[in-house]
Amino acid sequence: MPVSKMWDVADAMVAEMRAGLFSNESGVSSLRMLVSPIDSFPTGNEEGTFYGVEMGRTKVCVFRAQLAGKELGVAKKELMEVPVPINLMVGTSEELYHYLAAQLVKFIASSGSTSVLGKPKEVGVAFSFPVIHSATEGIHVEWNKGFSIKESAGRDALTMLNEAMVKHGVDMHIASLVNNTVGTLVGGRYCSHETVAAIILGNGTNAAYLEPLESVPKWHGSRPPHGQLVINMEWGDFLSSHLPVTEFDSQLDNESPRPGEQIFEKLISGMYLGDIVRRVLLKLAEETALFGDSVPLKLRIPFALRTPDVASMHQDTSSNLRVVAEKLDKALGIHDTTRTMRKLVVEVCDAVTKRAARLAGAGIVGILKKLGRDGTDKKAVVVVEGGLYEHYRLFRTYLHSSIKEMLQGKFSDNVVIEHWPDVCGVGSALLSVPSSHVC
């Protein structure tokens, strides 16, 4: 991924963004560019207790923040994490919403908090699924990637969530439902007024950003007071002939439950990096007998190698690459490796991770270019969340340097990448009181 190639990707991203903002018709763009109508953003002056729920693909996070105004910010945070039971991933939306309501009840009970003056507490909810806001059909969720939820036809998701709350006898009211990149962007705005985009780099990947209203020809809804629309790009779907898709990526894609979909995500997100590395090692084992005459059996098992294993091997600083030896042994059943073998494995981890980080960096620069913020003196903050970014130091380093390389010198000093813990929780919680904060 030399700089010129990264610019090709960034320019292709800009072209797809424009096309997706122009029309919702399928086939026009690989980017959905979903509009999330948000009337107002936090000012940073908020005070009080705010509740948020973030539902990911594997876990639900219930969140309470005590905000203490401009000077003190987030005075206290409490968090409860529970897994999403596998049976609920293929059940009905009603069952799933009941589970969410039950978790809220548990959280409230564990904290012994009571409502203020008998008024229901307002809650903001963020899902890591596409959330469609339609003026005529209300809000609905598109369940994808392992979730196959039977929806009650024509029912608004927010109404159903609130019905579940009532059935559980909980004095809480869901005030808003957004995609988690939108929650992250709103949380980012709370932390810095200069936040223009939010990126998630975890199991999956996605991006949201603020687009001036006049640049969204497909939007015919109401005009927000601040003149900007929040766009959930669903950038995991991004497709371009400039993406450096190799034979390993094609194999991974062909063997996936949905071939041809989510190509950008399959190149860069934490769900897949381990398996790309495994596929490269398998080819090396088959064609160069890297690990001896026979190919280790576990190397043929899809997803036997996980991204945290790749990170541990990649970041092994011991002189004899002891961690690499341990991981190869434990994860792939490859024993008695030499230092030369381990070094080669590290090189593969480096190549796969560096490519992923540089692609993500190119995507971020694409957003900045679309906003005309790739060459100005005005500061632009991009908030990044997700386990891949948070826990994989070299991925982070490569991502930062790719943006610097692309933007060069002083321009890149105006682009600040920030990571604020639990920023999506704060953002979704703040969305529970949308009308009280104006940008």
Residues in contact with ligand ADP by CB under 6 A are 56-58, 202-204, 270-271, 307-308, 311, 386-388, 391-392
Query: Shortest gap between Cβ of 272 and ligand ADP (angstroms)?
Result: 8
Nearest to 30 by CA among 269, 229, 265, 201: 265
Q: Which one, 187 or 270, has the nearer CB to ligand ADP?
A: 270
Query: Shortest gap between Cβ of 83 and ligand ADP (angstroms)?
Result: 11
Query: Shortest gap between Cβ of 57 and ligand ADP (angstroms)?
Result: 5
Query: Shortest gap between Cβ of 330 and ligand ADP (angstroms)?
Result: 15
Q: Which one, 172 or 199, has the nearer CB to ligand ADP?
A: 199
- Identify whether the C-beta of residue 113 lies closer than 8 Å to the C-beta of residue 165: no
Q: How many angstroms separate the CA atoms of 282 and 165, rounded?
A: 50
Q: How many angstroms separate the CA atoms of 384 and 386, rounded?
A: 7
Q: Which one, 41 or 99, has the nearer CB to ligand ADP?
A: 99
Nearest to 427 by CA among 141, 237, 230: 230
Number of helices (H) and strands (E), helices first, in the chain?
15, 13
Q: Which one, 121 or 327, has the nearer CB to ligand ADP?
A: 327
Q: Which one, 367 or 388, has the nearer CB to ligand ADP?
A: 388
Q: Which one, 311 or 334, has the nearer CB to ligand ADP?
A: 311
Question: Using alpha carbons only, what angle is made at residue 354 by residues 328 and 337, rounded to the nearest 5 degrees?
Answer: 20
Query: Shortest gap between Cβ of 203 and ligand ADP (angstroms)?
Result: 4
Query: Shortest gap between Cβ of 154 and ligand ADP (angstroms)?
Result: 30
Q: Exposure string (b/e) for 391-403, b if CB count within 10 Å is 16 or more?
A: ebebbbebbbebb
Q: Which one, 57 or 379, has the nearer CB to ligand ADP?
A: 57
Tokens of 89: 């991933």
Query: Shortest gap between Cβ of 286 and ligand ADP (angstroms)?
Result: 26
- Identify whether the C-beta of residue 159 lies closer than 8 Å to the C-beta of residue 412: no
Helix (H, G, I), strand (E, B) or coil at 360: helix
Q: Which one, 23 or 303, has the nearer CB to ligand ADP?
A: 303
- Identify whether the C-beta of residue 128 lies closer than 8 Å to the C-beta of residue 180: yes
Q: How many angstroms separate the CA atoms of 4 and 7, rounded?
A: 5
Sign of CA dihedral 147, 149, 155, 159: negative
Query: Shortest gap between Cβ of 252 and ligand ADP (angstroms)?
Result: 15
Q: Which one, 21 or 141, has the nearer CB to ligand ADP?
A: 141
> Which amino acid, one-letter code, is at 114?
T
- Identify whether the C-beta of residue 75 lies closer than 8 Å to the C-beta of residue 67: yes
Q: At 350, phi and psi to the nearest 5?
A: -65, -45
Helix (H, G, I), strand (E, B) or coil at 32: coil
Query: Shortest gap between Cβ of 395 and ligand ADP (angstroms)?
Result: 7
